Amino acid sequence: MLSKNSHVSRTLFAILAITGLLVVVLQSAGAQNNQPQSGTTPRHVRVIWRTAPATEAIVAWTTSEQGTSHKVEYAAGDETEWHSVESVDTQQFDGQVKRGTAPYVHSAQLAELTPATKYRVRCLSDEETSREYYFYTAPDDKRPIALIYGGDSRSGWGERMAMNRMMANMVAEQSKAGRPEIVALAHGGDFIVNGTDLPQWLTWLEHCEQTTGTDGRLLPIVPARGNHDMGPIFNQLFAFPKESENYYAGNLSGNVRLATLNTETVTGGEQREWLADELAEHRWDTTWYLAQYHKPAFPAVKIPSGALPNWVPLFDQYKIDLACEADGHVIKRTSPLRNGKIDAEGVVYIGEGGLGVGQRTPKTGRWFLQETAEHCGSDHHLHLITFYDDRMEVRVITMAGEVFDEFTLKPHQQD
Ligand SMILES: [Fe+2]
């Protein structure tokens, strides 16, 4: 007869064995995917948005071998004539892979595009051509649009893949139902665990392909750097110049502007000056102004980052609408905050990363979370933000596809 203790330990062992098996299965699934196919077959095709998403897009892809000639071909709508961009930046990824040499990353800038237009696109490396994909440029008018915001896809590969598949489904469903189009994914950083580990990035790229629809629709990405995304691979993979500090801003429509900031470099100094100039020049160009960055100014778990002293006074002064934060691994919504107090005219801070990583418990006793405690929680999630002329609707969608939280914001008025 089993004693109670041995029964407990057998049960524990069974759980550990199943968990271990699952980890091995998931890791080997990832490991198989760590190398692009041989030769110059284009893989990991993606669109990256920077400062002018209505008229410009970066198309990037990966090949195993360097190749000698690379180009992107694109055509608007059902145009039969393909345009070609032959100015392609090719670099070998920094870092090591277990077998063979590190793969190559290619990127090309498409410019002078027409806003709110479907572009078919394919990548060519030597004799190899990718499948035909497509994406939409951002509108430059005030039509309603939607944006997915999320962060912290760094671990929990099964959950990461589930969230990616959910994004692709959401994009397709939203479009089919005639609801405002989801224009992009804004990612608040911590894509992977160790930013200098190339196989982790290659696995992330493999998983990122699941955000692409079965019909080839690419979801443009607007990336922010997280503390785990250290090292040169981040800039290579997202086609930033080598020395880029990764802060920039662009319009997602004629009505929505998004600033991406970087908490992983000096938050004061030049970055603060850049933000002050950016807000002075562009804050009131659009009804809605958002910021995204990794480490929170108003954290639900950890301590405030440099965003609090360096950026929040500017957010307050220019009355931005929403600050999208990550890093804490919880579902968070603050009260509207201004000048260190709860204020109906203030900025709402959301977050904090649920695209894969294990979730923590939010500290809802903090003054900026006390009134919103019931809207905070612990679950894998993303934010679906829909912008209309007169309101912004924010929904937190969990991995199970359920709405955990939803709220509406009215536009701020210029003082
Ligand atoms: Fe982080």
Please tell me the distance between residue 126's alpha carbon and the centre of ligand 1 in angstroms.
39
What number is the average pLDDT over the span 42-48?
98
Please tell me the distance between residue 294's alpha carbon and the centre of ligand 1 in angstroms.
7
Please tell me the distance between residue 250's alpha carbon and the centre of ligand 1 in angstroms.
24
What does the pLDDT read at residue 415?
85
Q: 43-136 and 145-409 share one CATH topology?
A: no
Please tell me the distance between residue 358's alpha carbon and the centre of ligand 1 in angstroms.
12
Please tell me the distance between residue 334's alpha carbon and the centre of ligand 1 in angstroms.
19
Please tell me the distance between residue 332's alpha carbon and the centre of ligand 1 in angstroms.
15
Fold topology of 43-136: Immunoglobulin-like (2.60.40)
Q: Dump the DSSP string for 220-286.
A: -EEE---TTS-STHHHHHTT--TT----EEEEEETTEEEEE--TTS-SSHHHHHHHHHHHHHHGGGS
Query: What is the spatial distance between Cα 265 and Cα 268, in angstroms, rounded to a whole number?
Result: 9
Helices (H) and strands (E) in the chain, counts: 7, 23
Please tell me the distance between residue 410's alpha carbon and the centre of ligand 1 in angstroms.
30
Please tell me the distance between residue 29's alpha carbon and the centre of ligand 1 in angstroms.
25
Q: How far is CA 209 from CA 118, 146, 213, in A?
A: 19, 20, 9
Statement: residue 4 has pLDDT above 90:
no
What's the mean per-residue pLDDT of the chain?
Answer: 92
What number is the average pLDDT over the span 54-61?
98
Domain range list for the chain: 1-32, 43-136, 145-409
What number is the average pLDDT over the span 154-175?
97
- Choice among 37-41, 136-140, 185-189, 212-216 with the minimum mean pLDDT: 37-41
Q: Which CATH superfamily is domain 145-409 in?
A: Metallo-dependent phosphatases (3.60.21.10)
What number is the average pLDDT over the span 88-110?
95
- Radius of gyration (Cα) for the chain, nearest Å? 22
Please tell me the distance between residue 229's alpha carbon and the centre of ligand 1 in angstroms.
9
Please tell me the distance between residue 196's alpha carbon and the centre of ligand 1 in angstroms.
15
**pLDDT tier at 9 (50, 70, 90 boundaries)?**
very low
For 330-349, the pLDDT digits (tens) are 999 999 999 999 999 999 99
What does the pLDDT read at residue 78?
84
For 360-376, the pLDDT digits (tens) are 999 999 999 999 999 99
